[in-house]
Structure 1
Amino acid sequence: MSFRALLLAGALSGAVLATGAHAADLTIGFSQIGSESGWRAAETNVSKAEAKQRNINLKIADAQQKQENQIKAIRSFIAQGVDAIFLAPVVATGWDTVLKEAKEAEIPVVLLDRDIDPSGKDLYLTAVTSDSVHEGRVAGEWLAETVGDKPCNVVELQGTVGASVATNRKKGFEEGIAGHADIRIVRTQTGDFTRAKGKEVMESFIKAEGGGKNICAVYAHNDDMMVGAIQALKEAGLKPGAEILTVSIDAVPDIFKAIAAGEANATVELTPNMAGPAFDAVIAYKASGTVPPKWIRTESKLYTAADDPQGVYDSKKDLGY
C-alpha cells in the first residue's frame, strides 16, 4: 500500500470513529507555526483533510513563526468559544499564562509536533509528536555505521533556537555518534528550519572549513535546510552525497529527489499526520470523557537510496508538500 493510501486509510478509520462522537458539532482552532518548510505546509494540508474526513470545523491561524502571534490566536479561539485548541508551539517556553486562560475556559489544548517546557504539562490534554530525540539518534547511528572507523568532521544545521524539536534532534544525534571518537561535530549553527538560511549557513561552513575539504558529513535538523545546504555545496564545486555525506530529518519530497539524484544519502521520516490522532483524542474526550495518554507518539522511519526514493517522492507530492 502506498504512503498516500495508508494515510487516507487512517483518515477514513478516524472518520468512522468520529461519526459516533458527533464530530460534526466540533469547532477546533489550530495555531500553526507558519510555513517555514515543506513539511509544515504538508502538516497543514493533511490537518485540513483529516478534519474534512471527520466533518470537523477547523480554523487555522498562521503565526508566521512568531510566538506573539500564536498567543493572540489562542486568545481569539478562547473568545470564540471553540471546542478545543491545537497548538504547534514555535518555542518551548512562555506558554503558561495563555494556556491557563484556556484551561479556565475549559477548552482542552492539544500540542502538535512540538512539546513545551515541563512546567506547562498540566495545562494541555495531550501532545501528539514524534520522538525527536529518537529521530536524531537514528540519524547519528546511520552516520556512525556508514562512516565506520574513519575520522569524520560533521557540520550541523540546527533548527530554531529554543524549539524543543531542535534541542531534541541535537541531543539524539549526539547520542547516536557517542562512542565514535573519530566522528566530531566541528561546526553547529541555526538555520531556522528554512531552505534559504540553511544555504546561507552552509556557505559559511564551507568557507570556514577549507572550502569544504575538511567536511565529511552534514547533519541538518530538517530536510529544507539540507536542500539549501546541498545547493551551497554544489555551487562550491563539491559533490554532496558522494564526497560529503548528508543525513537530515522530515522526509519531504525534495530530499527524495536529491537522494534519487545521488546528492543526498539519508532522511528520517516525520509524519505530517499529527492532526488525525489529535482529532480522535479530542472526539473521545468530548464524547465520553476519555482522557488520552499525555503523549501520543507517532512513528519514524529511516530512508536511503535503497528505498525507491523516486517512488516515495511521487507519493508524497500528492500530500501537498
Structure 2
Amino acid sequence: MLAGALLAWAGGAQAASLTVGFSQIGSESGWRAAETTVTKDEAKKRGITVKIADAQQKQENQIKAIRSFVAQGVDGILLAPVVATGWDSVLKEARDAKIPVILLDRDIDPAGKDLYLTAVTSDSVEEGRVAGTWLTKTVGDKPCNVVELQGTVGASVATNRKKGFDAAIAPHANIKLVRSQTGDFTRAKGKEVMESFIKAEGGRAICAVYAHNDDMMVGAIQAMKEAGLKPGKEILTVSIDAVPDIFKAMAAGEANATVELTPDMAGPAFDALKAYKEKGTVPPKWIQTESKLYTAADDPMKVYNSKKNLGY
C-alpha cells in the first residue's frame, strides 16, 4: 500500500518548472533564518519556485499553510514540523492530492511515516551524544553539576538532543544534571531561564551549561556575564547548531564547544524531489546530514567569517 501511495505521487512536473511550498517553523533562531536563506538559494540554483510560509512557531499555522499549498496544487511540500505529533490528518490530505511531503531537520511521530516521502535531518540523538561526550572528556573525574536549556517541548529534536546527551553522561557518576528547563530555542528565553538557574543553584555551583541550540546559549552567556560569572572559563558551555555568533563567543573565550547542524536541508530535499518527479525514484526514508563538533581549537573567527553571510 505504501509503495502504491509513493508511486501515485511520482510523475508530473519536471524540475525546471517545480513549485514547492515550504512550511517553515518561524525565525526563533539564527539557524532557522539561515535555513530559510539557504532554501531560497538552493531553489534558485535549480530553477525551482519556492513559496515560504512562516508559522511563527505555531502548529496550527503550519497546518493552514499545508492546506493552502494543497489547494494551490504545488508539486511538493517541505515541512519543518514544530512538534512531532498531530500531522496525520493534513498529511493525508496532501497524499490524497498526490503531493509529496518532505520533512526538513525534524521528524514526526512514527505513525506518520507512510505520509511523507523522506526526511532530511541530522541524527539529533547523535548531536546530543557528541555534546555529552565532549563534556565527559573535558571534565574528566571532576565533580560537575550541569544545567540544561531544552528546546521547544514536544519537538522531536529537543527530545532527541536530550536523549543523546543523557546517554553520554549516564556512565559518569561525577556529572550530575541538576536543572533542566525549556528555553524554547530563543535567546531571550535562554537568558531568562539561565538567570533562574543561577538564582536557584548559585552561579559558582554550576560547572557546565548544555543548550539544545546556540541561540539559547548566547542568551545564557549574557545572563552569566551579568551575574559576574565567566562563561567559557568558570562555567563550561556546549550547545548545538554552530551559528556564527557562537564562534564569536568562542573567539572571546566565552564559549567552549558547539555541534554543527547544517542549514542546507533543502538542497538534498530538492534533489530527492527532482529524481522522484522525473524518474519515479523513491528516496530512502531518511537522508542524514553530518554532525561536526567545533571547539576553540578550530579557529573560530575563520569559521565565523565562512558562515556570517548565510543569513544567520
Whether these two folds match at TM > 0.5 is yes
2:163 maps to 171
Residue of structure 1 equivalent to 2:271 = 280
Partners of 2:131 and 2:165 within 8 A in 1: yes
Superposition deviation, residue 177 in structure 1: 0.9
Shift of 1:213: 1.5
- Report what 1:12 is aligned to: none
Take 1:86 and 1:22, find their aligned partners in 2: how far apart are those partners? Answer: 17
Quick one: which amino acid aligns to residue 264 of structure 1?
A
Q: CA deviation at 1:176?
A: 1.2
Deviations 1:161-204 (A, max 9, x none): 00000000000001111210110100000000000000000000
Q: Report the Cα distance in structure 1 between the residues aligned to 2:89 and 2:304, rounded to whole angstroms.
A: 42
Aligned residues of 2:187 and 2:219 also touching (Cα < 8 A): yes
**1:270 paired to 2:253:** no
The reply to whether residue 59 of structure 1 matches residue 84 of structure 2 is: no
**Equivalent residues in 2 for 1:1-321 (5 A)?**
22-210=14-202, 212-321=203-312
Q: What is the one-letter code of the residue matched to 1:268? A: V
Instruction: Name the count of aligned residue pairs.
Output: 300
Any idea what SS the aligned residue of 1:301 has?
A: strand
Detail structure 1 runs of 4+ shifted over 6 Å in the superposition. Answer: none
What is the TM-score when the length of structure 1 is the normalising length?
Answer: 0.93
C-alpha displacement of 1:320:
1.5
Question: 1: CA distance between counterparts of 2:84 and 2:66?
Answer: 16
Question: In structure 1, how many angstroms separate the alpha carbons of the residues matched to 2:163 and 2:250?
Answer: 25
Alignment root-mean-square deviation, CA = 0.7
The aligned counterpart of 2:8 is none
Query: Which whole-Å CA distance do the structure 2 matches of 1:27 and 1:146 have between them?
Result: 48
Structure 1 unaligned segments of length 5 or more: list them: 1-20
Report the alpha carbon displacement of residue 241 of structure 1 after superposing the two structures with TM: 0.2
How far is the alpha carbon of 1:23 from its aligned partner?
1.6
Residues 116-149 of structure 1, C-alpha deviations (whole Å, 9 max, x = no match): 0001000000000000000000000000000000
Q: What is the percent sequence identity of the aligned residues? A: 85
- Measure the CA separation in 2 of the matches of 1:292 and 1:32: 22
Checking the alignment, whether the CA contact within 8 Å between 2:15 and 2:277 is kept in structure 1 is: no
Q: Which TM-score applies when normalising by structure 2?
A: 0.96
Hey, what's the Cα distance between the residues in 1 that align with 2:258 and 2:30? 14
- Kindly state the Cα deviation for residue 62 of structure 1 after the two structures are TM-superposed: 0.3
The SS at the match of 2:205 is: coil
Deviates more, 1:35-44 or 1:21-30: 21-30
CA distance in 1 between partners of 2:173 and 2:267 (Å):
42
1:22: Cα distance to partner? 3.6
For 1:234 and 1:148, locate their aligned partners in 2 and report how far apart those are by CA, in whole Å: 25
> Equivalent residue for 1:17?
none
Taking the aligned partners of 1:94 and 1:318, their CA distance within structure 2 comes to 35
